[in-house]
């Protein structure tokens, strides 16, 4: 089995597929990251992606324009994130419960809303038309480079945007006053408050940004990745993103690498499931097993480092 897979792993189309599969996870991971930097664990990513994926497809169909669809998905993502912010910050609903509620809306509420708007049940396969799919771009010079061109060129617009947003997130967090405020609020809200930063306002902004990013991720899922919206299409990517964020140590570039790792796991899953004699069910569990392992390995490494530091500090105290 390994002999069959191994040569295909270094082919351009496999590496291309990793980038394609990584993009939605990357959007969600960046969304998790910005919220986490402001001290908010946004577990509603999954639900936001489902809902904005639905409204992205629907509005793209109504306007017959993919661009309108993406904008609408972005807008809906922000809207839901602001609703989460209102409930968790103003009405003091536990943020985790708020997230679970949004995920419920994403799981069953979307099926209901789809029926409400179109009378369709469970998927939008009948709405498919080429105008409502996010177009792919061939990058002029890059395209003609053999191998590398095949991997890097010809992706959807949003795939490039996803990787560009890694840089933008870094700029936002480390080069702008807003980023400084977000980090300050996440690090110590009381200290931030004492120097006149409005903690709630910053958390609102961070959650809105988080919603916008996951909205884009949702649009990518329904308008490019699976070409239409269907129930349960996000399949845990919002939760995988939470792990990817933690494994990336809360840094944009680290988040990108861990997203790529999970993208690789998903791509392997598609690759292996094509081979005969391999249980498709066990293969389906690969991304989730990798997530648990990744979470544990990452946690173990930080845990040890923290422990070491503590021991060293105590030693210093004793020697003093």
Partner 1 sequence: MKNKRLWMFEIFRGFAAILVSLAVAAVFIFITSDKPWEALRYLLISPLVSFRTGSSSFNLTSFYTILAAMIPTIFTGLGVCVMFSANEFNLGGEGGVMLGGFVGTLSGIYFVTGTGFDAVLAVLIAGLVCGIVMLVPALGKVKLGASEMVSSLMLNYVILFVILHFLSSIFADRSKGSLMTYPVSPTSKIPDLVSGNSHLTWGFVIALVFTVLVTLFMFRTKWGYQIRMIGINKDFAKYSGMKVGAIVVLSQVIGGILSGFGGAIEVLGRFTTFSWLDLPGYGWEGITIAILAKNNPAFVPLAAFFIAYLNKGCQLMSTYCDVPSEMIDIIQAVIFLFFAAEHFLAKYRQKLVVKTTVEELKNLSAKEKGGAKA
Options 137-145, 187-195, 216-224, 282-290: segment touching partner 1 (CB under 8 A): 282-290
Long-range pairs of 104-109 with CB within 8 A, sequence gap ≥ 24: 104/47, 105/47, 105/51, 105/80, 106/44, 106/46, 106/47, 106/48, 106/49, 106/50, 106/51, 106/234, 107/47, 107/50, 107/231, 107/232, 109/51
Among 25, 239, 251, 260, binds partner 1 (CB under 8 A): 239
How many residues contact partner 1, by CB under 8 A? 45
CB 125 within 8 Å of CB 103? no
Q: Write out the two tokens for 120.
A: 């369709």
Rounded-to-integer distance, Cα 236 and Cα 25, Å: 10
* Residue whose token pair is 């005969």: 276
Residue closer to partner 1 (CB basis): 71 or 102: 102
* Residue whose token pair is 């967090």: 173
**What is the x/- site pattern for partner 1, positions 76-105, by CB under 8 A?**
-----------x--xxxxx-xxx-xxx-xx
CB 265 within 8 Å of CB 290? yes
- Shortest spacing between CB 38 and partner 1, in angstroms: 18
Residue closer to partner 1 (CB basis): 56 or 106: 106
Residue closer to partner 1 (CB basis): 12 or 100: 100
- Shortest spacing between CB 277 and partner 1, in angstroms: 11
Residue closer to partner 1 (CB basis): 63 or 235: 235
User: Binding to partner 1 by residue 295, rule CB under 8 A?
Assistant: yes
- Shortest spacing between CB 207 and partner 1, in angstroms: 15
For 11-136, list the strands marked E by DSSP: none
Among 107, 127, 139, 157, binds partner 1 (CB under 8 A): 107
Site for partner 1 in 114-173 (CB under 8 A): 115-116, 121
Among 299, 309, 311, 315, binds partner 1 (CB under 8 A): 299
User: Binding to partner 1 by residue 311, rule CB under 8 A?
Assistant: no
Handedness of CA 23, 24, 29, 32 (dihedral sign): positive
Give which of 287, 268, 288 is closest to 278, Cα–Cα: 268
Among 148, 236, 308, 315, binds partner 1 (CB under 8 A): 236
Q: Which residues contact 175 (CB under 8 A, 6 or more apart)?
A: none
Rounded-to-integer distance, Cα 34 and Cα 92, Å: 20
CB 211 within 8 Å of CB 205? no
User: Binding to partner 1 by residue 302, rule CB under 8 A?
Assistant: yes
Judged by the rule CB under 8 A, the positions of this chain that interact with partner 1 are 43, 87, 90-94, 96-98, 100-102, 104-105, 107-109, 111-112, 115-116, 121, 236, 239-240, 242-243, 246, 279, 281-282, 284-285, 288-289, 291-292, 295-296, 298-300, 302-303
């Amino acid at each position: 089995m390994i002999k069959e897979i191994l040569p295909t792993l270094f082919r351009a189309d496999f590496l291309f597929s990793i980038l394609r599969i990584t993009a939605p996870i990357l959007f969600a991971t960046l969304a998790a990251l910005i919220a986490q930097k402001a001290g908010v664990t946004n577990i509603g990513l999954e639900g936001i992606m489902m809902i904005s994926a639905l409204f992205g497809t629907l509005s793209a169909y109504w306007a017959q324009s993919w661009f309108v669809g993406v904008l609408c998905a972005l807008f809906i993502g922000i809207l839901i994130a602001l609703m989460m912010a209102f409930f968790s910050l103003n009405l003091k609903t536990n943020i985790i419960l708020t997230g679970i509620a949004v995920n419920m809306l994403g799981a069953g509420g979307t099926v209901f809303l789809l029926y409400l708007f179109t009378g369709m049940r469970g998927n939008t396969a009948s709405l498919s038309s080429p105008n409502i799919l996010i177009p792919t771009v061939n990058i002029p010079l890059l395209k003609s480079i053999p191998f590398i061109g095949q991997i890097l060129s010809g992706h959807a617009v949003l795939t490039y945007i996803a990787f560009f947003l890694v840089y933008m997130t870094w700029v936002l967090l480390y080069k702008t006053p807003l980023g400084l405020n977000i980090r300050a609020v996440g690090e110590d809200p009381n200290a931030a408050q004492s120097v006149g930063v409005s903690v709630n306002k910053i958390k609102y902004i961070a959650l809105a940004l988080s919603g916008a990013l996951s909205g884009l991720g949702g649009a990518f899922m329904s308008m490019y990745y699976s070409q239409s919206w269907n129930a349960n299409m996000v399949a845990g990517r919002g939760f995988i993103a939470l792990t990817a964020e933690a494994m990336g140590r809360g840094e944009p570039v680290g988040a990108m690498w861990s997203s790529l790792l999970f993208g690789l796991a998903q791509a392997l899953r598609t690759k292996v499931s094509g081979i005969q004699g391999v249980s498709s069910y066990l293969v389906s569990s690969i991304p989730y097993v990798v997530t648990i392992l990744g979470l544990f390995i990452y946690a173990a490494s930080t845990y040890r480092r923290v422990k070491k530091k503590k021991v060293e500090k105590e030693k210093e105290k004793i020697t003093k």
